[in-house]
Chain A
Amino acid sequence: MKGPPIWVTAVAVLVLVFLQLPVIVVAMASVSTTSYLTVPPVGFTLDWFVEVLTDKDYLEAIQTSFLLAFAATAGALVLGTAAAYALHHRMVPWADALASFFMAPLIFPAVVIGVALLQYYALIGLRWSFWGLLLAHIAITVPYVIRACLTSLAGVKGELEEAARVLGASGFTAFRLVTLPLLKPGLVAGAFFAFITSLDNVPVTIFLLGPRQSTLPVKIFTSIEHGGVDPGLAAISTLLILVTGLALVIAERWVGFSRFV
């Protein structure tokens, strides 16, 4: 079997380098001893990492971000898996229309969902509340769970669960002991997408935060907007790069989830 032509390989390598470029630059800038952003870095220091990790505002933003991402992922997993199961087994009328409806938050521009929620929450008094933010994040992350779940369910033989039912297991027990383990790779992939999506989100979150609240990406976003580009920002960004890279490698090793992209 002959491989791709040499020039295709060359272009592919260049494009792969282009994709890593901003990551490399941010990581390099984070260790510079200068107070301004410069690449290649001048000297080497980890002071910027210490500085951001001892900054109370950053720590609070990190805490909010992770709390929100964990809660949204858990919520999306429970609601999404239940709904996908019912859709797959056609236990509800208009299953196809419902599936499209559940995927809709993915198609609508996030900024539109953000501004719509701003006005709506102001109206019903949920503005600036964590619960409002959480529900919004469940809505924007649930499509990933539904999609991964439906893909996995298509590969699970229905007879297996029926066999368990025949042998006397209740509906939920049969699901928990037979289908759920088979769904695990899909669920892990869906959860990973959901978690990253929540952790990454700015266009919905930024409209719903109160004056003293912040999530990590919104905090970085507003800092850059106000012109505060310094190695401290590069350091907190580098930490996010490390966490993302680590999570990606673990998820890939665990379930080989690149199949679900």
Chain B
Amino acid sequence: MRRLSGAALVTPLVLVLVGVFVGPLLVMLPTSFHPYVPGQGIGTSWTLENYTVAFTDGYYREVIGRTLWMGFLVTFIALVIGYPLAYFMARTTRTWRAVATLLVMFPLFLNLVVRSFGWIALLSNRGVINTLLMDLGLTTKPIRMMFDMTGLVIGMVHIYLPFMVFMLLSSISRVPRDVEDAASTLSASPSRVFWFVTLPLTAPGILAGCTLVFVLTISALVTPRLLGGPTFKVMSTLIYDEFLVKLDWPSGTAFAFILTAIALLVIWGANRVARRVAGGAA
């Protein structure tokens, strides 16, 4: 009876997910092994070329390399500027923590397109920052910040920073104050306490935050498209163009699976490291 009602509660959701998540991925798999025939679409013969070309063609390799480099830069910067903020939130008064939480959460819930639009207004050649710099006489020509890595990284850091801050915050909040106090009592300087006590204790939070931000960054479509433009491509915008502009679905699906494999690999690797660290500590 219990089994029966359990199945009744779970089955509808399983059906929906099999129908619109597993099914589509399975249907997409064979497409990635067919050649693209210009004018006709998906060919009928079988080939591995869609995958091999991603690693042999210079252009595709550049796009993959750029995607990973962007993921690394965004993760690193989000960690460096997110840690002080999370630390502040963990150690300040209740009121300030609540205010800061709302201020971090607000951009998180704000529409992604709107946030990217804000960065266009700030970073474009006739945008706020360039106008300000030119008015102050600091530069005569606008500095190019869009359609290249600079703008992309700034916008992406802004968008994924809240995830990093919340991951770090929950980790820093769990550090027992007694341990830090004990180190201070034993005459460790505040910076020593931080580097040798607080930081190592928050390592799991750092790992979780970095994994999340990296995976979200390499998967993002909207911001790279709007701030990178049609020419400065990353993997997700490449997939978008293969499907909607070039109509080369076989190549697009192969890239979709490569991107998914990278994301899953990063998550799997991070889990292994986390388990090993936790196991070593116990």
- What residues make up the interface of A, taking CB atoms closer than 8 Å to B? 1, 3-5, 8-9, 11-12, 15-16, 18-23, 25-26, 29, 37, 39, 79-80, 82-83, 85-87, 89, 91-92, 98, 101-102, 104-105, 107-113, 115-121, 123, 132, 135-136, 138-139, 142, 171, 196, 199-200, 202-203, 207, 216-217, 220-221, 224-225, 229, 233-234, 237, 240-241, 244-245, 247-249, 252, 258, 261
Contact = CB atoms under 8 A, between A and B. Distances in A.
B28 A120 contact: yes
9 contacts: A82-B13, A91-B3, A111-B240, A123-B27, A203-B222, A221-B222, A225-B225, A240-B110, A244-B111
Q: Interface majority SS on A: helix, strand, loop or mixed?
A: helix
Interface string B145-171: 000000000000010011000100000
B66 to A, nearest CB: 16
Nearest to A245: B106
B44 interface: no
A15 B85 contact: yes
A83 B120 contact: no
B133 interface: no
B31 A119 contact: yes
Contact of B12 (A15, A79, A248): A79
Nearest to A236: B114
A5 B88 CA distance: 8
B113 A221 contact: yes
Contacts of B162: 19
B20 interface: yes
Contact of A108 (B92, B243, B252, B260): B260
A47 to B, nearest CB: 19
Contacts of B161: 15, 19
Contacts of B6: 86, 89, 91-92
B10 A87 contact: yes
Given A86-B10, A119-B31, A120-B27, 12 more contacts: A8-B87, A11-B88, A21-B118, A25-B122, A79-B12, A82-B12, A82-B13, A83-B14, A132-B20, A207-B243, A248-B109, A249-B102
B109 A196 contact: yes
Contacts, number: 261
A12, A18, A89, A119 interface centre (most CB from chain B within 10 Å): A12
Interface of B: 2-3, 5-7, 9-10, 12-14, 16-17, 19-21, 23-25, 27-28, 31, 81-82, 84-85, 87-89, 91-93, 98, 100-107, 109-122, 128, 131, 158, 161-162, 166, 177, 190, 215, 218-219, 221-222, 225-226, 236, 239-240, 243-244, 249, 252-253, 256-257, 259-260, 263-264, 267
B94 to A, nearest CB: 11
B25 A83 contact: no
B82 A15 contact: yes
Residue with the highest number of chain B CB atoms closer than 10 Å, among A82, A119, A123, A240 = A119
A116 B98 CA distance: 41
B21 A203 contact: no
B16 A138 contact: yes
